[in-house]
Amino acid sequence: MVGWPRTTDYHGSPFIPLERKEGEMRVRIATLVTVFVAVALLVSACGPAVTPTEAPEGTPRPQPEATPTSPVPAPELGRDPNTLIISTYEGIAGIDPPGFPSASGSLVQRGVYETLLTATPSGELELVLAESYDVNEENTVWTFHLREGVKFHDGTAFNAQAVKDNYIRTVEIELGLSGVIGRFLSDPENQMVVIDDYTIEFRFDQPQPFFADALASSYGAWIVSPTAFTEHDVEGDWAHDWLDTHAVGTGAYVLEEFRPVEQITLVSFDDYWRGWEGKHFDTVLLKVMEDISLNRQLLEKGDVDIVVKVTPEDFEALQGNPDLVVHQDFGLKYTIVFMGCYGPLASPEARQAMSYAFDYDGYVNGIQMGQVQRLYGPFTSTQFGYDPDIFKYETDLEKAAELLEEAGVEPGTELVWLTSGHYAPDAELLMQAQLEQLGLRLRIEKVDSASQFTTIFSDLPIEGRFSFADMAWWPDYDDPWNAAQALYHSENWGLKGANGSYYANDRADDLLDMMRVAGTKEEIEALATEFQNVLTEQDPPCIWVGEDPDKTIHRTDIKGYEFVPLYTETYPLYNLYRE
């Protein structure tokens, strides 16, 4: 017998005949397709409504306008109310204070470590591990009177010797952030003098008006238990490997568990010197969530209490949610586009042209949906020394064309934009459209963020370097010299620092050198004013793109949150509580 068996051939066989009337087959297929399409439509309808809008002129593609949805009803907190859960978007790579932590790493450090001083929301400094300090008339000797009765998490007593030992380590370990304190302490052993158990002097050859600000920095100024770094020293590494994954400070929280790609657990330190009267969290969990689009769901469902970052669309959508508090605070963080000061952009005129060419409105109001504000120079508007009368570039293609001709940049010239999409997403597309109108070509090189970072801050020969590269930046503390030195001094080209543009302007160098040794903040402010003028109107090394706000969102039952401009994307964990 050939062909398929029929059901009647075999008793009980469920086999059905292959031949079917054609009409029946078509009906079945049509029914199935209809059912499938209906299910797909139903499932799609379950998502939030997104209404595409007309794109503003100049933007490379339309940006969907986020429509606030009905908020998910406030859930019962089905978890321990004494645990604070924070969602952070970056893995936490290394928390040794003089190292190079991510912003999320600083979040951990701020919970477990303390400094002698700290910055307030208004930018003033207040005392933490120091009870008071005096400065002599010449501003060259700073005497700190330390708080008594403070212990490190390992039981070591906090005292003047601990401070000295810690800062010797910070300077001599020679890691990425050693220079924050190292700038002031070229000879730490002799410049720091222990007067008694709770008094320490810092001695300088010249006035140091920003020394106190540096001591309040969240980069490099944290005080680590000397017992910890002595006991865990391996082959003279100052316990760096160990302290990258452990923390022994005087802070309110102890690092209980460190799973840097996943979750960090902090628990309250019973012997914390401030005590635990009043409302505080017992436990803080920092969860690493690389997919920031999930943060909105987590917040609305109550599975996290605070998120550090959401997408611009979610930020808009969450504004109307009565269960959440949405903060948008501008501090010291900003985004720039390095311009290579070589090749076609070697001349100041060519870079001025690029500064006129960029579509600022398209970036600020289009891509970033109005959630950033314009940056006009090397300092943000909240930075000490910022000049509000600074020269401001606006988009002007005619002016750009004139300057290009003056600079001798020929039509058809190809420029290269290096990006990972991490810092100024899609800004390169805006520029590509603008340059096309000027007769120039922009080739976009998209790489991962690690490659972008190391390429910018490398000593690649000029032939292989970019014309443009976007980057985010913020200073270690509120000092114009600290904000600018690494990026714009000619001694910091290539591997020597962060001067990714290979910028070299003699006047800018002189001004930075003068700022470094200036005796008063007023002098530095005056120098900073001229410095900003050089870097904007005269010889711009960067396109000044935007000031990036902290966009923290938390549930309404979380109280005690305060934004401090100096401490980007970190929180005063001890002050937070649930009500």
Partner 1 sequence: MSRFLIQRIPLTIVVLWVLTVITFTLSHIIPTDPARLMAGPKASPATLERIRHRYRLDRPLLEQYATYVTRLFQGDLGRSMVSRRPVAQDLKEFFPATVELVLLAMTIAVVGGLSVGVLTAVYRGGLMDHLGRLFSVAGLSMPAFWLGLLVQLLVYYRLGWLPFGERISTDLSAFNHPTGLFTVDAILAGRLDAFVDVVKHLIMPATVLSLEPLAVIARLTRASMLEVMLQDYIRTARAKGLREQVVLARHALKNALLPTVTMIGMQIGWALGGSVLVEVIFNWPGVGRYAAKSILSADHSAVMAITLLIAATYLVANMVVDVLYVTLDPRISY
Q: Quote the least distance from Cβ 222 to partner 1, whole Å.
A: 16
Listed ranges 127-135, 290-298, 327-335, 557-565: which one lies at the site for partner 1 (CB under 8 A): 290-298
Nearer to partner 1, 13 or 520 (CB): 13
Nearest of 117, 253, 327 to residue 574 by alpha carbon: 253
Q: Is 43 in the site for partner 1 (CB under 8 A)?
A: yes
Residues 451-490 vs partner 1: string with x where CB under 8 A?
A: x-xxxxxx-x-------------------------x----
For the segment 324-383, give every residue that binds partner 1 (CB under 8 A).
none
Residue in 279, 443, 446, 496 binding partner 1, rule: CB under 8 A: 496
Task: Give Rg (Cα) of the chain.
Answer: 29
Name the amino acid, one letter, at 466.
F
Residue in 77, 325, 498, 526 binding partner 1, rule: CB under 8 A: 498
Q: Is 10 in the site for partner 1 (CB under 8 A)?
A: yes
User: What phi and psi, each to the nearest 5 degrees, are found at residue 64?
Assistant: -65, 140
Q: Is 174 in the site for partner 1 (CB under 8 A)?
A: yes
Alpha-carbon gap, residue 494 to 75, rounded angstroms: 53
Q: Please tell me whether residue 131 adopts helix, strand or coil conformation.
A: strand
Name the amino acid, one letter, at 230.
T
Nearer to partner 1, 175 or 375 (CB): 175
* CA-CA-CA-CA torsion sign (224, 227, 229, 230): positive
Q: Is 41 in the site for partner 1 (CB under 8 A)?
A: no
Residue in 21, 22, 41, 47 binding partner 1, rule: CB under 8 A: 47
The dihedral over CA atoms of 451, 457, 458, 459, expressed in degrees to the nearest 10, equals: 150
Q: Is 300 in the site for partner 1 (CB under 8 A)?
A: yes
Identify the H or E element spanning 258: strand 253-259
Nearest of 151, 155, 192, 148 to residue 170 by alpha carbon: 192
Alpha-carbon gap, residue 216 to 82, rounded angstroms: 29
433 contacts 444 by C-beta, under 8 angstroms: no
Listed ranges 122-130, 177-185, 344-352, 518-526: which one lies at the site for partner 1 (CB under 8 A): 177-185
350 contacts 404 by C-beta, under 8 angstroms: yes
Nearer to partner 1, 252 or 264 (CB): 264
User: What phi and psi, each to the nearest 5 degrees, are found at residue 165?
Assistant: -60, -40
Sequence-ordered list of residues with C-beta below 8 angstroms from that of 397, at least 6 positions apart, any chain: 356, 357, 434, 437, 438
Nearer to partner 1, 406 or 448 (CB): 448
Q: Quote the least distance from Cβ 286 to partner 1, whole Å.
A: 12
CA angle 478, 525, 116 (to 5 degrees): 30
Nearer to partner 1, 182 or 565 (CB): 182
Within its chain, how far is the Cα of 195 from the centroid?
Answer: 39
Residues 391-430 vs partner 1: string with x where CB under 8 A?
A: ----------------------------------------
Residues 95-134 vs partner 1: string with x where CB under 8 A?
A: ----xx----------------------------------
Long-range CB contacts (within 8 A, 24+) of 69-75: 69/317, 71/300, 71/320, 71/321, 71/322, 71/323, 72/300, 72/301, 74/302, 74/323, 75/301, 75/302
Alpha-carbon gap, residue 554 to 292, rounded angstroms: 14
Q: Is 49 in the site for partner 1 (CB under 8 A)?
A: no
Nearer to partner 1, 67 or 136 (CB): 67
Listed ranges 116-124, 130-138, 287-295, 505-513: which one lies at the site for partner 1 (CB under 8 A): 287-295
Nearer to partner 1, 130 or 339 (CB): 339
Listed ranges 189-197, 293-301, 335-343, 550-558: which one lies at the site for partner 1 (CB under 8 A): 293-301
Q: List residues near partner 1 by CB under 8 A.
A: 5, 10, 12-18, 20, 28-29, 32, 36, 43, 46-47, 72, 79-80, 83, 85, 91, 93-94, 99-100, 174-179, 241, 244-245, 259-263, 285, 287, 289-291, 293-294, 297-298, 300-301, 303, 448-451, 453-458, 460, 486, 495-498
